[in-house]
Amino acid sequence: MHMADALISPVVGGTMMAATACVAAYSIKKVQNDLDDKKVPLMGVMGAFVFASQMINFSIPATGSSGHLGGGMLLAILLGPYAGFLTMASILLIQALFFGDGGLLAYGCNVFNLGFYTCFIAYPFIYKRITRKGLTSGRIFGASMVSSILGLQMGAFSVVLETLFSGKTELPFNTFALLMQPIHLGIGIVEGLVTAAVVNFIWKARPEILEHTAAGTTFGRIPIKKVLTGILVAAIAIGGFVSWFASSDPDGLEWSMERTAGTTELKASESTVHNMLANIQSKTAFLPDYGFKTATGNKTDSYAGTSISGIVGGALTLGLAGLIGLVISVFKKKK
């Protein structure tokens, strides 16, 4: 559900960038309440894990489409809404800048669609409501399923609204919405299953992590080294090896566009803003579409390129998310 710049106008892109910046600023202020030396590395490894997981497109049976983990609910459950949103912003920035996945003009839209609805609506009003009487394996499963599905549905509908307000007549509202919502329901079910599995694993290994996150308190002296190691190993394995087996079918957004407009890519606008940001992205994306760049700027398909993209991208995301947490933590201590 990573939107390309061709799908939105500069006005919509700028508006959503401003909205995302405001949410990020609010998150930076609020995250200081529960941020400590334990949560900072968890932000980094969770960012690397979600980055790697988003590389794995899984086929949606009988549709010819595929989907990938969004990760917003998982980040919110394990890190809290504020740290989760900032981590999602880090993931999508690395993807856009260095892998050409999602446009720079559409960056605000993508962060909002994948991070805001999950972290600030689905997590507090759905997941926490279902688990408010205490954590059990069954409640974690039910809460993860419902919140993941509804969070993704809100994000998918937001994509439809953003293209509508951008004046993309190739994607008429009714047709586009009637394709986007059902296909993302299927993707949401898989996301819910994966989220439930990971959260249940963390709950059984270190239930205190979920308890402190839900309460909005620092981790304190909770030993989380084994959890960090396990998540990091999983991120390396997924990005470096499992990513080879990603489905080549178009994702839910591309699939919906193809059936609405007859193409998975709309013609990019010739506006100054679009051209400027496209030129910047073509220079910064040294592993376009998670593969080696050719002399023409396109990518070459190879297992090596995919593996290096997964590992390098995970490392960059770990570094950026961790750095954001570290900087906030340092300012918190100075205060």
Per-residue pLDDT tens digits for 26-54: 999 999 988 988 899 999 999 999 999 99
- Give yes or no for residue 57 having a pLDDT over 60: yes
User: Which of 281, 20, 273 is closest to 166 using CA atoms?
Assistant: 273
DSSP state of 293: E
Rounded to an integer, what is the distance from CA 266 to the centroid of its chain?
Answer: 23
Pair 166, 9: CB distance under 8 Å: yes
CATH number at residue 321: 1.10.1760.20
pLDDT of 100 > 60? The answer is yes
Do residues 107 and 2 make contact, with C-beta atoms less than 8 angstroms apart?
no
Angstrom distance (rounded) from CA 291 to CA 162: 29
pLDDT value of residue 295: 63
Q: What angle do CA 166, 167, 171 make, to 5 degrees?
A: 105
> 171 Cβ partners below 8 Å, 6+ apart?
7, 160, 163, 164, 257, 260, 261, 266
Residue corresponding to tokens 């470096």: 240
Q: Which of 88-97, 112-121, 135-144, 289-298 has the lowest mean pLDDT?
A: 289-298
pLDDT of 298 over the 60 cut: no
Domain span including residue 53: 5-334
Query: How many secondary structure helices (H) and strands (E) does the chain include?
Result: 14, 4
Give the pLDDT score at 40.
93
Strand partners, 292: 300
Name the band, by pLDDT with cuts 50, 70 and 90, for residue 335.
low
What's the CA gap between 9 and 268, in Å, rounded?
Answer: 10
Average pLDDT, integer, range 271-279: 93
Among the ranges given (119-133, 192-206, 216-230, 295-309), the one the predictor scored with the smallest mean pLDDT: 295-309
Q: Which of 157-171, 215-229, 298-312 has the lowest mean pLDDT?
A: 298-312
- From 195, 196, 193, 159, select the one nearest 177 (Cα to Cα): 159
Q: Given pLDDT bands bounded at 50, 70 and 90, which one contains residue 296?
A: low
Mind giving me the DSSP string for 51-87?
HHHHT--EEETTTTEEE----HHHHHHHH-HHHHHHH
Task: Kindly report the average pLDDT of the chain as a whole number.
Answer: 94
Q: Is the confidence at residue 22, as pLDDT, over 80?
A: yes
**Distances from the Cα of 36 to the Cαs of 78, 309, 313, in angstroms?**
14, 30, 25
State yes or no: pLDDT of 300 exceeds 70.
no
The fraction of the chain above a pLDDT of 70, given in percent, is 98
Distance CA(66)–CA(41), nearest Å, equals 31
CB 16 within 8 A of CB 162: yes
Contact 34, 6 (CB under 8 A): no
Cβ atoms of 135 and 210 closer than 8 Å: yes
* CA 115 to chain CA mean position, Å: 7
Banded model confidence at residue 273, pLDDT cuts 50, 70, 90: very high
Three-state SS at 35:
coil
β-pairing, 58-60 with 292-293?
unpaired
- The total domain count for the chain is 1
Distance between CA atoms of residues 116 and 121, nearest Å: 7
pLDDT band (50, 70, 90) for residue 231: very high
Is residue 119 within 8 A of residue 81, CB to CB? The reply is yes
- Number of Cα atoms under 13 Å in the Cβ half of residue 280: 12
CA torsion 229→235→240→243, rounded to 10°?
Answer: 150
Residue 154's pLDDT is 98
Strand boundaries in the chain, DSSP class E: 58-60, 65-67, 292-293, 299-300
